[in-house]
Structure 1
């Protein structure tokens, strides 16, 4: 079965690997990037399989045009992958309103908008799959990455709501939670304009780790991420909403689940103690 994909953020990293994997599998892909020139190599390598589309997620008009182009060139959309993203590093006190809005436009508003645009098509054909690429930071708080964490937590909340709303229309929703992958995320990670010495101790090591991601041989390969996404899209309906991907992902999330259970128990004991007084 040939699938028609709209994948955002294909200029590099996970999105580029996914576009290649889908094309290699015999599917057709509308691959987006803010600068379509970055996709020229993909188009040459996969003529007729990969269609380049200009898309800045912050631009509502470009989002509408991207969906329209995908439908015109591919004949429809079976899979939407909200993969494009950007990172902002800065403590909560350091991040301005404008910086926060910019981060949420990319991580939450853009994916929400694209989901809204493709849902009429998917409901009409009684099939479709929306894949929202989150992160371990969608369930694990990371000091210094507050704006990014907030965007990913919100994306997961939206996805959970959406799953309940569209299941009866034949539309699937999956949240993919990548662990550590060797991509350019860390080198492209922006910093808040005004950093404060007070937060140097609690965030410096974390920032240093992000900066070396692309060259870390211990992290996963984008190609492995792509193959995992292909498998979950091919899987029968009814699978889990959240799918961790990567060698380290399950260990991190299992630790987070244990911490959450301990916190819940502590809260129950605290409330029960207050009720006795």
Structure 2
């Protein structure tokens, strides 16, 4: 059955592929990007199926207008995909307050705001699906990506709370956790303005890996990611809340799960060995 989608971050990469795949599947899509010219190709390729909308996630008024426009054109919203984002590279010591705020505005506040705006619509129609695009960084950490990791962890925490709140209302929530895909994420990755030489050797390999992601033959194809998201949205309500996408995502998160279990065991052993508190 055709659905009405609002997808953010459609200028390239995962969002572009997802908007295209949804349109090919017969859905109607309100596709957003910060610049109108970035959406011209999508709109030409899918007239009547894809409606381009300008959206800067950090602008509350633009978020309200995007949701209002999507509803006007589509007649409602069945699926919201919070996909837009970007990364900042820098260690915790290097990243300043303003850079932290800017990253969290994009990765957490913007998706939270859009979710809040569509929920009354979904409650009124008695159904809906919110898909938050996280990352393997939503469940593990990488040196030099502290702000991105913090944002994705926060997005996943919000999604877990949201899922418990809206399930009784007929609204589904899914967190999609991509591994490495051939997108512009790495080439567009910003760097902290204040850099300390002491960290260069410690984080250099990670930065190089991020920069080379688009050209790495091991990286997944955005079209494959899009196909998996369509499968997830078509699945029944018993599907898991958090779904990794990509073979490397399962490998990464398997290692992270083992490390978490080992840490928990070590903490338990430490506390058992600690002297009892004195009354």
TM-score by length of 1: 0.99
SS for the counterpart of 1:173 is: strand
Deviations 1:152-200 (A, max 9, x none): 0000000000000000000000000000001110000000001101111
TM alignment of 1:250-261, pairs within 5 A = 250-261=250-261
Per the alignment, residue 87 of structure 2 pairs with: 87
What root-mean-square deviation, in Å, do the aligned CA atoms of Structure 1 and Structure 2 show?
A: 0.7
| Separation of aligned partners in 2, 1:87 and 1:120 | 30
Q: Compute the displacement of 1:247 (Å).
A: 1.7
Deviations 1:205-251 (A, max 9, x none): 00001111111111100000000000000001121000000120111
Deviations 1:73-109 (A, max 9, x none): 0010000000000100000000000000000000000
Per the alignment, residue 176 of structure 2 pairs with: 176
TM alignment of 1:1-277, pairs within 5 A = 1-276=1-276
Superposed structure 1 runs of 4+ greater than 6 Å apart:
none
- Structure 1 gaps of 5+ residues are none
| Separation of aligned partners in 2, 1:238 and 1:169 | 15
| Separation of aligned partners in 2, 1:247 and 1:50 | 30
| Separation of aligned partners in 1, 2:111 and 2:102 | 14
Q: Compute the displacement of 1:275 (Å).
A: 3.6
TM-score by length of 2: 0.98
| Separation of aligned partners in 2, 1:79 and 1:238 | 17
SS for the counterpart of 2:176 is: strand
| Separation of aligned partners in 2, 1:148 and 1:275 | 39
- Structure 2 gaps of 5+ residues are none
SS for the counterpart of 2:247 is: coil
SS for the counterpart of 2:66 is: helix
Deviations 1:26-80 (A, max 9, x none): 0000000000111001110000000000000000000000000000000100000
